[in-house]
Amino acid sequence: MRKTIKKFLCATLADNRALRVDVESAFVRALPGFSIVGMTNQSIQESRERIKSALTYIKYKFPAQKITVSMSPSDLKKEGSHFDLGIALLLYTQKESFTCKDFYIFGELGLDGDVRSTTSIFPILLSLASQEKSLKVIVPKRIVKKINQIPNIEAFGVESLSEAIEFIKSDIKSLHVEDFSYKNMIEIENKKYFYEKDFELDFDDVKGQNRVKRAMVISAVGMHNILLEGSPGCGKSMSIKRLRHIMPPMSMQEMLQSNAYSCMSGEEEELSAKRAFRSPHHSSSKPSIFGGGSAKAMAGESALAHNGILFFDEFPHFSKSVLEALREPLEDNQILISRVNSKIKYETKFLFAAAQNPCPCGNLLSPSKECRCNELEIKRYKNRVSEPLMDRIDIYVQMSEDYDSKSQMSSSEMFDEVLKAFVFQKKRGQRELNAKLSEKKLEEVSNLDEEARTILEKASTQFGLSHRSVRKIESIARTIADIDESKKVKKEHILEALSFRRR
């Protein structure tokens, strides 16, 4: 007697975590009908019409019976159109043999049986992989390469309902897809890291500004927060927008996590080694930057910038509530969104970059234009950014109107420096970049020589530096030493790190 399919596995997102859902079907003798039960939302209820159309398209005849599809646990809220494919296969194969009953099945159906991806599939599978040791999944073919990069998952892709039916009836090896390959890859200590060498925006376009370019290399190597201050048009925003293209390589886990956050926000993207770059307008609301929502807490710009760059242009013009709320993700590298029914935590290991004018009119540092602001206006403008927030910024550069066309440094040259220092860091056995290290780990790797430690202690006393500021100077000095491929942090490294502190 042939075994029949009566159940398949799927999952739904609940508070940023995937929970398994068992989907069962029953055909009973009663008036013909089709119902789905189990605390489902509107998108799942509407799937009945998509499933009917897709099955009719492949000449399936619905039996003169009542069809009930149940999703358990029944007290768990379920949402998403990714249940379509599994339910259709469940109905079609009710009396057919089924060789892969332990597969998770995901996919939305078109009216003609076309299998489509949704933005929730990837984050669901990433979460499931962290909970189970081995998973086999059937997914839309267009995302199968990306899914196959998730540890503990073997993914098989289908393009249509007909192909899925043939797949579950035949040898499952027939649809196996080769692993994802990337042209720019470096292996360090048996771990692979990926990077882009597409300098769409090049530092070669920035004339002069050698000190800024040096600061950008240091910022990229260690993931250090950076603030540029200068007159309008001196190249602040122009420089920061090019910072993305010289950022260090990413591990596959970092790429997957960043992509999962993008998918959860409704932005489905291809897997890429190019780090995220988010630049919200200064009029953006607090929930849009840090996440929120009454029914469902969505990721904000700070979470979407995870492993990448969060850029605030016109820094002092952001609302006071936004600027003060920024202190937590900068310090803890995570943000917790608390609601009555849920609490969701997002990772926020981003490089924070900001640009601002020296005064409201912008001409305070200009050698050719007269500043129209009085002292009170300048003070109010500066005071919009609090000292605790400024203390969390590692590198401060005051830009001049330096347009020396002879002094050039391209993004390619800068990236080579970043890559060299990145390799030096990773060969030290370091998992995180310098700015994201815990205090204990930083103490282990900083390795200051006697002269450098003496200078740092004197600077701490003379300038009244906070404990956080001292740690940041130590971290920047470690990054500068990495660029020089020096095992020890020396006097010159500490002095250069101190030169980037805001006075």
Q: Given this model, what pLDDT does residue 125 score?
A: 92
pLDDT (tens place) for every residue of the chain, 503 residues total: 333 446 889 999 887 789 999 999 888 889 999 999 999 999 999 999 999 999 999 999 988 899 999 999 999 999 999 999 999 998 998 766 555 668 899 999 999 999 999 989 999 998 898 888 888 999 999 998 888 888 888 899 999 999 999 888 775 554 444 455 667 899 998 899 999 888 989 998 888 888 999 999 999 999 999 999 999 988 899 999 999 999 999 998 898 888 888 887 777 667 888 899 999 999 999 999 998 776 667 788 999 999 999 999 999 999 999 999 999 999 999 998 887 777 888 899 999 999 999 999 999 988 888 999 999 999 999 999 999 999 999 999 999 876 666 657 899 999 999 999 999 999 998 999 999 999 999 999 999 999 999 999 999 999 989 999 999 999 999 999 999 999 999 999 999 999 999 87
Residues of each domain in the chain carrying CATH 1.10.8: 437-503
Find, among 13, 20, 88, 79, the residue nearest to 48 by Cα. 88
Q: Are 385 and 315 in contact (CB under 8 A)?
A: yes
pTM for this predicted structure: 0.88
User: Regarding beta strands 108-109 and 115-116, do their DSSP bridges make them parallel or antiparallel, or are they unpaired?
Assistant: antiparallel
The fold for domain 7-175 equals: Ribosomal Protein S5; domain 2 (3.30.230)
324-347 burial string, b = 16+ CB within 10 Å, else e? ebbebbbeebebebeeeeeebebb
DSSP string over 41-81? -HHHHHHHHHHHHHHHHTT----SSEEEEEEESTTS-B--G
Residues of each domain in the chain carrying CATH 3.40.50.300: 191-424
Q: What is the CATH number of domain 437-503?
A: 1.10.8
Query: Is domain 191-424 given the CATH code 3.40.50.300 in the classification?
Result: yes
Dihedral of CA 23/28/30/31: which sign?
positive
Q: Given this model, what pLDDT does residue 338 score?
A: 80
**Type of residue numbered 258:** S
Q: What's the chain's length in residues?
A: 503
Q: What is the largest CA-CA distance in the chain?
A: 92
Q: Given this model, what pLDDT does residue 55 score?
A: 95
Residues of each domain in the chain carrying CATH 3.30.230.10: 7-175
